[in-house]
Amino acid sequence: MGNVRLENLTKRYEDTTAVDGVDLEIEDGEFVTLVGPSGCGKSTTLEMIAGLTIPSDGTVSIASRDVTTLPPKDRGIAMVFQNIALFPHMDVDDNVSFGLRLRDFDDDEIDRRVEEALEIVQMDGMGDRMPDELSGGQRQRIAIARAIVREPEVFLMDEPLANLDAALRVHMRTELQRLHRELATTIVYVTHDQEEAMTMSNRLAVMNGGQVQQFADPMTCYAEPDNEFVAGFIGSPSMNFFEGAVTAEGVETAYFDVPFDPDEVGVERAREVTLGIRPEDVARSDSTENLTDPTEPVEATVDVVEPVGDEVFVYLLLDDQGGRDASEGELLMSAPPGPALTDDVEGERFRIRMDRARVHLFDADTGDAIVHGIAEGPSHEAGAREVESD
């Protein structure tokens, strides 16, 4: 079965560590995305799974078989590359059948499989075209056909959609999901696009600094990020963060307070924390129907209003209460569009509330999540989802 297991996978270069002790267990048939900013080690990790890069440390197992020292061709994998990488001197048929011909399949079998693969990617009848006669999307389909024709245990995809234009990218995204459903083969997918990662995968491995920050399904990564990095990386627009401290009355930041009883929520007092709140969990104080547990209103000045169609991004400047640099008090609110939210309100004063049930607290030093959602006592419906400490 096409499961993939990485144990303490590490890649060190002379002066840097690109991948730092990655442990992952990918189930058979799962669509897992390695996602993170550029330079986070996701592509290096994929190349180590493929065998194109030799790990400095750790092991790679594919289909319950240790393949750490095997060359790429013997690992039962197929790969789709960002730059598509069709062989320019071969026509479509030869490109797709390249791997089969190297493995000495007989001609009838090759023809049958190539035809089948081209049908799956809806490119049948294009067998004698050369790659430079195809459009970008067609080339990407051929690259996928070349990968599926060998019926590998695992597909590896390294930003396969990055070079396509926006419309085609969204289209190919659904195509890939359909393909995954049809083939039910394990896919390990690499992207820096968190939206792509969220929409396509069963599970995300959010990476930063060569380490896996969180390995969970997309909604968990979104709603209960393990640390500040995941919270900021997943979700668009990004989460708002404020530095603050836990006192006997709750969390105090330079701009507002979120009162609660630290003992009941389970947070130590006198602790430096970072408070995180997503733009969609902020609302004007007169339209809080989407908030489960609104906080006391806070005054803010509207800086910029950005309508994007189905929602409006409102950049607010919170009143400085702590005498710090004013630019730090920026809060992004995402609200449903309405006649009250146009460019005209820029400069006006808003009263806003946040959803206490959706406030995240992170350790100010380590960035680790302390609590997701603040709720005191058992009477609250939105129970605080306390983070298990290791």
The distance of closest approach from Cβ of residue 184 to another protein in the complex, given in angstroms and rounded to an integer, is: 21
Crossing angle between the packed helical segments 136-148 and 92-102, to the nearest 10 degrees: 20
Q: At which residue do the structure tokens 């789709």 appear? A: 80
Our finding on whether 52 is near another protein (CB under 8 A) is yes
Residue 85 within binding range of another protein, rule CB under 8 A: yes
In angstroms, give the least distance from the CB of 332 to another protein: 38
Q: How far is the CB of 207 from another protein (least distance, A)?
A: 20
Cβ closest to another protein, residue 152 vs residue 262 = 152
Count the alpha carbons within 13 Å of 211 in the hemisphere toward its beta carbon: 8
User: Cβ 18 to another protein, closest distance in Å?
Assistant: 14
Of 251-280, binders to another protein (CB under 8 A) are none
107-120 helix and 136-148 helix, angle to the nearest 10 degrees: 130
Using rule CB under 8 A, residue 302 touches another protein:
no
CB-wise, 88 or 339, nearer to another protein?
Answer: 88
Which token pair is 364? Answer: 């100010």
Q: Rank residues 51 and 210 by Cβ distance to another protein and give the closer one.
A: 51
Task: State the sign of the Cα–Cα–Cα–Cα dihedral 68, 70, 74, 80.
Answer: positive
- What are the DSSP calls for 342-380, one per residue? SGGGTT-EEEEEEBGGG-EEEETTT-BEEEES---STT-
**Which of 86, 118, 187, 300 is in the footprint of another protein by CB under 8 A?**
86
Taking the C-alpha atoms of residue 235 and residue 194, their distance in angstroms, rounded to an integer, is 7
Applying CB under 8 A, among 88, 309, 323, 347 the residue interacting with another protein is: 88
Alpha carbons 125 and 326: distance in angstroms, whole number = 63
> Candidates 45-53, 184-192, 372-380, 382-390 — which segment interacts with another protein by CB under 8 A?
45-53
Nearer to another protein, 50 or 246 (CB): 50
Distance CA 390, CA 192 (A): 28
Is 110 a binding residue for another protein by CB under 8 A? The answer is no
- 77, 176, 188, 204: which one contacts another protein (CB under 8 A)? 77
Give the nearest distance from C-beta 295 to another protein in angstroms.
51
Place of tokens 């023809």: 111
Cα 19 to Cα 245: distance, rounded to the nearest angstrom: 33
In the complex, the smallest distance separating the C-beta of residue 219 from another protein, rounded to whole angstroms, is 33
Count residues binding another protein (CB under 8 A). 28
DSSP 239: P
Amino acid at 194: Q
Query: Is 161 one of the binding residues for another protein (CB under 8 A)?
Result: no
> Using the rule CB under 8 A, is 50 a contact of another protein?
yes
Of residues 56, 81, 247, 321, which one binds another protein by CB under 8 A? 81
**Smallest separation (angstroms) from another protein to the CB of 308:** 35
Among 89, 309, 327, 379, binds another protein (CB under 8 A): 89
Strands 203-208 and 186-191: unpaired
132 makes contact with another protein (CB under 8 A): yes
Residue with tokens 């001197």: 89
Residues contacting 276, CB < 8 A, separation 6+: 228, 231, 232, 239, 240, 241, 242, 359, 360, 361, 362
Distance in Å, CB of 123 to another protein, minimum: 18
Nearer to another protein, 21 or 72 (CB): 72
Q: Whole-angstrom Cα distance, residue 83 to residue 159? A: 9
Candidate list 102, 184, 219, 345; residue touching another protein; CB under 8 A: 102
Residues interacting with another protein, by CB under 8 A? 47, 50-52, 71-73, 77-79, 81-89, 98-99, 102-103, 131-132, 146, 150, 156
